[in-house]
Structure 1
Amino acid sequence: MHADTRYHASAPRSVSFGAALAINGAIIAGMIFAAPNIIVLKDPDTVMRPIDIREAPPPPPVDDPKPVEKVQPRTSQPPFLEKPVVDTISETSIRTTTILPDALPTNEKPTDPGPVTVIEPARPAPAPALIGATTDPRYAQDFQPEYPSQEIRAQRDGLVTLRVLIGADGRVKAVEPVSATSDAFFAVTKRQALGKWRFRPATRGGVAEESWKTMTVRFRIEDAR
């Protein structure tokens, strides 16, 4: 096999240079119409570079830096602490009631009821007075006791005062001495009162009841003869 060593004639260099020139011209013309302030230096031996001859605009004003707000992290705790509960001792007692008043208070002004008549409560009837005991005339002959023999010999008069308790039946239940001329006079008088004296008992409202009565007995020597 034989290699193809035939000589191929290259395209004329004039044609290549013209095409390159036409392309560069078109690029330059577009740059001139697009940016009239750009000067293009034509130098076949150097690379054409566009130069911007416009003045640089002033830099924009710089604002003062704004303070950065601090963001508090969110927590589950409340923004404030509750006041602690402190137990206090109180002597005040509060009681409730289910009893309702007959009428509730109102804001209406009370009217003048006029003169008020005060009715006093009825006074209880006084207790019946006690009607004291009296001597029963049916037993009047038994009232004077016997004269003591020793006092007869002494030819002496006597006087005895005593208190007797008279029962509801009219009989004497007890005897208390008040005064006596001698013990002999008092002894015979006490014995006669307990055994022989009879009274009409004291009454209160028609009902018989016990009562005390003071009695006086006289002894005269002329009555003993």
Structure 2
Amino acid sequence: MAKSFTPTRYGRKKGMSPAGIATVVILHGAAITAVVMSKSHIINPSQTPTQVELIEVDDPPPPTMPEQPVDPELPDVPVTVTSDPIPRQEVRPRIEPPITFDPGPLTRLDPPPPPPPPPPRDPVVRPAQFANNAALQPPYPPRLIRQNVEGNVTVRVRIGADGRVTEVQRVSADHELFFEATREHALRRWRFTPETRNGHPVASWQTHTVQFRIS
């Protein structure tokens, strides 16, 4: 007589635990595995080992090419093979025409001007001086001595390259007689060492003042 069961809240049979269900599943799986393993090791006693014999086989003959039909309309042309090399053509380089350049009208270039000359150096000038033995004081005019007249005379004289006075010019004079006495005395008695430029004697001008005093 079959046992009745009452469904529970979770849909399981009443009176069967989860552990029992797991045990049943494991046993069934083990039985199926044993059957499969036993079939894989069964050997048929009627089967015998197979013997293999090697048979030598000759190489197949090479394939033969079918003969090409000969066209009766085309005559046989003998082919002559020569050992002469093929003549080579001489390759000449291409010569380009020369390139000409037209410079146009030529412009004449004048030479550069010469450098300017150096500035002249100032000459070495040594002025004229009275000679040591020259009589400088002219004679006192007697008329002016009697009149007790004193005065000064300033003259400009030209001294030649030989040291002599060649010309006398009046600059100032307190009396005409003082100038005349000075002019005549300078032309006759004044002597100079002439002026020199770079060592060469030259003519020159000088100005001198003469005093007339009654001692």
TM score, norm. by length of structure 2: 0.46
TM score, norm. by length of structure 1: 0.44
